[in-house]
Copies of this chain bind each other. A is one copy, B any other.
Amino acid sequence: MLKIEPDRLLNDLKRLRSFGATGTGVVRLSLSPADMDARRWLAQRMSEAGLSASIDGVGTVFGRSRNDGPALLIGSHTDTQPTGGWLDGALGVIYGLEIARALAECGETRHLAVDVASWIDEEGAFSGFLGSRSFVGESVDAAIRSARNREGVLLGDALEQAGLAAAPRVRLDKTRHKAYMEPHIEQGGRLEAHGKSIGVVTTIVGIRELRLRFTGQRNHAGTTPMSIRRDAGAALVAFIARMNEAFSQLADADTVWTVGRIELDPGSFSVVPGSADMCLQFRDAGAERLRAMEAALAALIRDFNAQEKVSVAMLDGEPPEEPVTMDAALQAHLASAADALAPGQWERMPSGASHDAQVIAHHVPACMLFVPSIGGVSHDFIEDTAEAHIVLGCEVAANAAARILEAMRK
């Protein structure tokens, strides 16, 4: 069994938390002063761990093992949401650092190569998954020229300001990087509900984000009888009920759908809404199920428009994100390490949230490991994970990393 140092792990996580600390939470938006301070500290800690560390031309911190490959790349992100928690992203990066140190300190594993990354802007302050997208070779030049954060600052100007504009961009080296591992907090309540300590991720779910607009007739709410109304809001409510029924028939226990926003126009007591918009998101680990849900929605829209006095149309939504399957062999190594260190305390599960792993998995075999989120909460100041779970997760990840690296060399 590979040993990690729990105190060193926890202390590094707590030190990272201090950059941008706000109450129990963290405000560390990409390329902000707090974020850049954290990145410089992280590069320093990587160097102290024997890695060759740098901050690249988009802001990704990359610590390269001085050992020859094949290498396992371990990463996540240290930027946060506008009101973020201390572990989201940070956990996986510090796990990578600790695993690199643990491998180097053990005679049997010190020849193995772990590279560690903190990808820039996973949270999309400027452009989501910027670091991992740049790493796998997607062009980010358009984003650098035109993406702005909510203060209106251009990404290119922020990189200039951070002194990174001229720095080289780190790129995937397929001759070296043979696997990617992203440890992360679960961000949901499933492990806690099931009394488990470790999740081995099977798939990162696919996402559809759609806007529906209902168009009826705006009217006086006192003088327009119910029988002749064309109430766009009432139509929206009726549509959601039918949609819930249709989706329920297609769903399994992990399928989720959310109406996150409803707007009625003009939005007053005394006016029958003439127009009504809703934002709909649905997620599932199965590409086929997502397509079935899309088809069911299209059929509902057709039927609605054929039968009802209010029409419904789909507006432009976000581009679809397809589900991404985690590599089976890597999952097996995680499962075997979990079985050894936490027998009966782990389970396989999909990731309902998005991660850099879904970008990288298209180019390199990838896997993810989850630790429980207390109360299922993340993206919130109260986000937390029990210290025992933080330590156990790192032990499982470290031992899986050793097994993965040994297997690569066979």
Interface positions of A (Cβ within 8 A of B): 186-190, 193, 205, 207, 209, 219-228, 231, 233-234, 237-238, 240-241, 244, 251, 253-264, 267-273, 279, 281, 283, 318, 351-354, 376-379
Contacts of A254 in B (CB 8 A): 225
Q: How far is the CB of A184 from chain B (nearest CB, A)?
A: 11
Measured between beta carbons, the chain B residues less than 8 angstroms from A354 are 222
* Chain B residues closer than 8 Å to A241, beta-carbon distance: 237-238, 241
- Bound form: Cα–Cα A271–B190 in Å: 17
Task: Show 23 residue pairs from A and B whose CB-CB distance is below 8 angstroms, ordered by the A residue.
Answer: A187-B220, A187-B222, A188-B220, A188-B224, A189-B225, A190-B223, A193-B228, A219-B376, A221-B258, A224-B376, A225-B256, A226-B251, A234-B240, A234-B244, A237-B240, A237-B259, A238-B241, A258-B269, A258-B270, A260-B267, A261-B269, A269-B281, A270-B281
A224 to chain B, nearest CB (A): 6
What is the CB-to-nearest-CB distance from A267 to chain B, in angstroms, rounded to a whole number? 4
Chain B positions within 8 Å of A238 at CB level? 241
CB distance from A272 to the nearest CB of B (A): 6
Nearest residue (CB) in B for A205 is: B222
Q: Which of A193, A251, A261, A353 has the most CB of B within 10 A?
A: A261
- A225 and B188 contact, CB distance less than 8 A: yes
Alpha-carbon separation in the docked complex, A318 to B219 (Å)? 21
Closest Cβ of chain B to A346, distance in Å, is 17
Apart from A237-B241, A237-B259, what are 8 other A-B pairs with CB-CB below 8 Å?
A: A205-B222, A219-B377, A221-B258, A222-B256, A222-B352, A260-B264, A261-B267, A261-B269
Residues of B within 8 A of A264 (CB): 259-262
| Complex alpha-carbon distance, A90 and B240, angstroms | 43
Complex Cα–Cα for A270 and B123 (A): 13
Residues of B within 8 A of A240 (CB): 234, 237
